[in-house]
Amino acid sequence: MAAVLGGCVADAAAGSMSAACEPGETASADPAITAWRPTGTRVTGAGDLPGVLPLRNAWHTMHGDTANSDHAWVATAPRLELDWTVETAFYIPEGPTFDDAGNLYFSPLFPREDVSLVSLDAETGERNWVVSGDGRNAGSGAILILDEPSAPGEQRVYHMSFTEAMALRPDGTEVWRVPTGLEAPPDMLGVRPPTHSFGFNYHPQTDALIGVPLGGDVLAFDRTTGAVAAPTLRLPGAPAASSDLDLPPSVIEASNALTDEVFGTANGLSFFEVIVDVLFGGGSQVTNYFGIDPNTGRIFIAATAEDAADGTEDGVSELGALYALELIPDGAGAFTFSVVAEARFDGGTGSTPTISADGSRVYVSDNLGNLITYDADLEELWRLDVGAPIAASIAVAPDGGELYAVTREDIFRVTDLGASGRLEWTADLSLAFQGNPNVDARFNALTPTITANGVAVSVGGGTRFMGRELFFGIGVGLLDRETGVLRSFAEGREESIAVTSIAPDGGIYTAASPVRRVSTRAFFPDLTLPLTGGISRYRPVRNDLLARDAV
């Protein structure tokens, strides 16, 4: 496959590397039909039933559904091309999500523009409307989309910032808007704002919306009215210990300066250092989204253990923890949160817990390289060391015990055998960036999404330098679930740390949130395109191939 690159933006550097070039259309032979076939009986659960939860025909919440399966009931287009990148001033670490009317939603991280939620036309990228940040965004988190039983065929948009919770119609009009009861502390120069929210998830058993900011508060609101459904619970952990960046001080300084220029700062702190710390679980109690089992209503949150649990009371926790919570009726028509189980493990975690479709398994990762599997009561069943820290969530298919895990470099397929896990393959990404003279290594760049005809992924292309992966290019592709071979690839514009969001038309959308490309730009500014924010759309270009794969 040969990549056709557009106009270059810098003079060629010394040596064999070429100048940085704008992404262009990717040309390749038509990918063959996937070799994968489902085996055994598909695992199903309450999340597959109609009701408030929408069909999984697109990304309606952070990881596709309440259980964080990163699985969609659609086919990914086998041939894609970058269509547009819009809203480039925004750093977006979570989302985007979609409604059934063709709208896209996201919440930016500490934006310079005073917005907390943005709605776009998903096809054109044009802005529909925004929700004000009221002077302090204090938001982010993926936007939750649910069906509205009282108005068949309609949906509602749910958003939680640190200080406000709201339900909106797709046209932006309010259904309800209430304070969360949390008070944002004054901004303090040099102190990371503790106000990031990971957005809402849905609890079917109580018809409640659950929210968890990074400080470890757990909140519940009635879905229909916004009334408080349970008193706020504070998880028992402490902020995780931060890790030093293994980069030269000059590169850290240059990387900070790059994100400062494009995205601004958060209380004077640069996005680059803050995001890298959070990605590996540092500095906060909760550093990623949480899961709810639609079968039982049990809530699973990956966080930290109590300060003293590591043997030293020093204000930080060296241990990760997975908590199971339930909403217990209080006898007066409301509910109370109860922590019903806890599991601890060495090292922190930036993981989102993933729950199997039947609720029997919970998957999480530590920052030491282990994929850890628990039962619903958090008794450990097995763990598998993949050799490097696992990033974000484990993608869980309802077929054949298929699990997909990613590290900074690789994508793995693992099979859950019941009492153990077996590594099936490491993805072959060699098809990406063919013909790009700057690329001599390929790396995983984002969490994977499981679809009917493959695993949608993001791939970075570049080189290894001083033990780091340097991204000279970025793009999206489709892995074969059976072999791990990249079936197709399209070059893009910017890196994401969010999710590989699948749209109903089989296209892919990514939210720009550069991290590794930041240090690459600091190392090699002449070989790397300038940083950008925003949302990118990769549109299907061969719908005949999409129809073939769907059949």
CATH number of the domain where residue 512 is located:
2.130.10.10
Nearest to 509 by CA among 54, 59, 170: 59
| 466-475 b/e (C-beta count within 10 Å ≥ 16 → b) | eebbbbbbbb
Q: Is the pTM of this model over 0.85?
A: yes
* Long-range interactions of 184-189: CB distance < 8 A, separation 24+: 184/136, 184/138, 187/136, 187/267, 188/267, 189/267, 189/268
Peptide bond into 96 cis (omega under 30): yes
Q: How many domains does the chain have?
A: 1
Give, for 396, the enclosing helix (H) or strand (E): strand 395-396
| Phi and psi at residue 59, to the nearest 5° | -80, 110
pLDDT of residue 166: 97
The series of mean pLDDT values per 10 residues for the chain, 551 residues long, is 32 38 58 89 80 91 94 94 96 93 94 94 97 79 95 96 96 97 87 86 96 93 97 90 72 90 88 75 79 96 88 85 94 91 81 94 90 96 93 90 94 97 97 91 95 96 86 95 96 94 93 93 89 96 92 87
* Cα–Cα distance, 303 to 305 (Å, whole number): 7
Cα distances (Å, whole numbers) of residue 289 to 43, 412, 521? 23, 21, 29
- Phi-psi region for residue 64, left (φ > 0), alpha (ψ -120 to 50) or beta? left
Dihedral of alpha carbons 83, 88, 90, 93, sign: positive
pLDDT of residue 186: 86
Task: Point out which residues pair with 197 in neighbouring strands.
Answer: 213
Nearest to 299 by CA among 176, 169, 210: 210
Question: ∠280-284-290 over CA atoms, to 5°?
Answer: 80
**Would you mind telling me the total number of residues written for the chain in this entry?**
551
3-state secondary structure of 505: coil
Dihedral of alpha carbons 47, 48, 51, 52, sign: positive
Task: Point out which residues pair with 412 in neighbouring strands.
Answer: 405, 426
For residue 35, give its domain range. 2-550
